[in-house]
Amino acid sequence: MNNYFLASLLIYYIFYFVKLKKVFHMLQQNWYNDGNRYITWIGNNKKTVFISFDILFILFSIFLFINNSAAIIISFVVFYFINMCLFIMNRKKEQVKKPLAITKRVKRLYYTSYLLLIIITVIMYITFNEDLLPVYYLIFGLIMYLAYFIGFISNVINKPIEKFVFHYYKNKAIKKLATFTNMKVIGITGSYGKTSSKNILSDILNIKYNAFPTPKNFNTTYGLMITINNHLDKFNDYFIAEMGAFRCGEIKELCDLVKPTYGILTKVGTAHLDSFGSQENIQKGKFELIESLPSDGIGILNGDDELQVNYKLKNNCKIVFIGIDNPDVDVRATNIKLSNKGTSFDCIYKGDSNIYHFETRLLGKANIYNILAGIALGRCLGLDERMLEAGVKKVNSVEHRLEMKKYGNINIIDDAYNSNPVGSKMAVEVLGMMPGKKIIVTPGMIELADKEYELNKKFGEYIADVCDEVILIGKEQTKPIYDGLMDKKYNEKKIHILNDVKLAFPLMQQLSDGETYVLLENDLPDIFNEK
């Protein structure tokens, strides 16, 4: 009978693999519980974690009073076959924006999770007692039901291994960087605009030098290590390292790894207020980059950002201020003209009576700041005005950051990457200058702590002044935006609420009328799905 028991676990083991894929997907999107993000997600998604068909495993307790082993085994197999089919069907219906990346770390989590299951199976097999068959199945049912916690336990068990792997690749990256004696490192951080600023700077510097930026949004310690170990080579003149953080000390850790000579601070805002804890902590955390620069280094700061201007810097490196509104900066943009084809502006340098004209395909005021940072550092690194103008002109749109696209006969302004209070307002302003009908698709902004309702409601008020139609993704998540629209007496018939962004595309086609522009503002990770 114990062999039949073992055979009955085949479907269960397959379903265990399938379910763990979703568990590890959520664990991965929550940074493997860094800062207790995964545990917080479980607390905020009790229905997803605890209300499932798996809970019916308790029905196997009935078999404690029925002496029919064959019926128990068949019932177990049928139950988990049906459960697996229902689970797979439901997963296919779910909106998955960023699928699970099957990294070596995820594979190690699978190994650990299966090892735990195999140990329990072997113990049961060796000590098999047919009378305890219902108990065995109840234990397996409990394991499957608590799969989200099994994933967490596996993550905890693997921590020593992950620590060893981390230090191995970190030391490898440090040794490799040490061999590039002629290469200089440029760090870029800020609450918003890091990736855009990085790519803009790369396009400008590559007019004269061989500059290599971190790929995509590789802005963590792991991301920098991967970039150094797999991509950097001796021919690179500059390594542009994007630096992200969720709490104080993380930027300093990244600086200790790559040792930047130059640094750009884009904007100090409210992004990741939940994890930083306060605006003051965000300010200190971002300035860790500038305060890590050597005395002969150069820091580029935003003179229109009060949190940068008023900060008491603990470093004597050279500081260059950029700005638009503040006339007392080193590099300033004036005479800004926006159109649906791009942006043009004049640039003034402190101590220089000349006016220099620049043109770019990029949209939005935020990108002007990013370009100014590139111009300011480019000048410091030896690019002349002809090179700077050519560099700015060739700057490419950054994916999902005010990127113009075509969807049938609709003009899409794709600003789907990680929206924030400043960027979202600027994106709406960009939409507002476009001709024709204007539509916005948004799930709102997240990770704004106790300011989340207030800032999203304000966002709704901006939308009301510009948009002809509003498509909100997620009824609960977008309630503050809805309230902001209502405060502005916006036509309720023009508000469309969906739970799946995929449904927004056929809807926007229905709502389009002649020349239509649609702003896609933010695209929340799968952990925020309301379905």
**385 within domain boundaries:** yes
Please say if the pLDDT value at position 529 is more than 60: no
- Cα gap 87→82, rounded to integer Å: 9
DSSP one-letter code for 59: G
Q: Are residues 407 and 384 in the same domain?
A: no
Chain-centre distance for alpha carbon 431: 23
Q: Which residue has the higher pLDDT, 425 or 493?
A: 493
pLDDT digits (tens, 9 = 90+) for 294-319: 999 999 999 999 999 999 999 989 99
**12 within domain boundaries:** yes
Q: What is the pLDDT of residue 338?
A: 78
Select from 347, 370, 394 the last residue of a domain: 394
Helix, strand or coil, per DSSP, at residue 379:
helix
Task: Yes or no: say if 355 and 348 are a contact pair by the CB < 8 Å rule.
Answer: yes
Select from 157, 191, 221 the last residue of a domain: 157
Select from 394, 428, 453 the last residue of a domain: 394
pLDDT digits (tens, 9 = 90+) for 7-27: 999 999 999 999 999 999 999
Q: What is the pLDDT of residue 524?
A: 55
Q: Which residues pair with 212 in a beta bridge?
A: 239
Side chain identity at residue 78, one-letter code: V
Helix, strand or coil, per DSSP, at residue 41:
helix
**168 within domain boundaries:** no
**119 within domain boundaries:** yes
**173 within domain boundaries:** no
| Total Cβ atoms within 10 A of residue 306 | 11
Task: Yes or no: say if 393 and 360 are a contact pair by the CB < 8 Å rule.
Answer: yes
Task: Yes or no: say if 358 and 389 are a contact pair by the CB < 8 Å rule.
Answer: yes
Total-model pTM: 0.79
The band of 528, judged by pLDDT with boundaries at 50, 70 and 90, is: very low
The band of 273, judged by pLDDT with boundaries at 50, 70 and 90, is: low
Q: What is the DSSP string of 199-263?
A: HHHHHHHTTTS-EEEPSTT--SHHHHHHHHHHT--TT-SEEEEE---SSTTHHHHHHHHH--SEE
Q: Are residues 238 and 350 in the same domain?
A: yes
pLDDT digits (tens, 9 = 90+) for 112-152: 999 999 999 999 999 999 989 999 999 999 999 999 999 99
Select, from the ranges 41-55, 148-162, 423-437, 445-459, the one with the highest average predicted confidence (pLDDT).
148-162
Please say if the pLDDT value at position 52 is more than 90: no
**295 within domain boundaries:** yes
- Cα gap 1→438, rounded to integer Å: 68
Q: Are residues 387 and 504 in the same domain?
A: no
Q: Which residue has the higher pLDDT, 504 or 319?
A: 319
Cβ neighbours of residue 186 closer than 8 Å, sequence gap 6 or more: 201, 238, 239, 240, 241, 260, 261, 262, 263, 264, 377
Q: Are residues 250 and 369 in the same domain?
A: yes
- Cα gap 279→271, rounded to integer Å: 9
Q: Are residues 144 and 34 in the same domain?
A: yes
Please say if the pLDDT value at position 200 is more than 60: yes
Q: Position of tokens 């977008």? A: 478
Q: What is the pLDDT of residue 475?
A: 87
Q: Are residues 234 and 337 in the same domain?
A: yes
Q: What is the pLDDT of residue 7?
A: 94
- Cα gap 169→104, rounded to integer Å: 13
Please say if the pLDDT value at position 384 is more than 70: yes
The band of 404, judged by pLDDT with boundaries at 50, 70 and 90, is: confident
Q: Are residues 446 and 507 in the same domain?
A: yes
Please say if the pLDDT value at position 531 is more than 70: no
Q: Are residues 151 and 254 in the same domain?
A: no
Which regions of 416-530 does DSSP assign to beta strands (E)? 437-442, 469-473, 495-498, 516-521
Domain count, the chain: 3
Domain of 481: which CATH number? 3.90.190.20
Q: Are residues 120 and 227 in the same domain?
A: no
Cβ neighbours of residue 139 closer than 8 Å, sequence gap 6 or more: 120, 124
Q: Which domain holds residue 203?
A: 182-394
Q: Are residues 132 and 201 in the same domain?
A: no
Q: Which residues pair with 473 in a beta bridge?
A: 498
Q: Are residues 387 and 426 in the same domain?
A: no
Q: Are residues 472 and 340 in the same domain?
A: no
Mean residue pLDDT of the chain comes to: 90
Could you give the C-alpha distances from 516 to 364, 397, 413, 416, in angstroms and in order?
19, 21, 11, 18
Q: What is the pLDDT of residue 449?
A: 72
Q: Which residue has the higher pLDDT, 137 or 503?
A: 137
pLDDT digits (tens, 9 = 90+) for 406-446: 887 888 888 887 667 877 888 898 888 888 899 999 988 87
Domain of 317: which CATH number? 3.40.1190.10
Please say if the pLDDT value at position 485 is more than 90: yes
- Cα gap 114→110, rounded to integer Å: 6
**163 within domain boundaries:** no
Q: What is the pLDDT of residue 96?
A: 64
| Nearest one of 226, 230, 329, 233 to 242, comparing CA atoms | 226
| Nearest one of 408, 447, 434 to 527, comparing CA atoms | 447
Question: What is the rounded average pLDDT of the residues 386-396?
Answer: 94
**166 within domain boundaries:** no
Please say if the pLDDT value at position 527 is more than 50: no
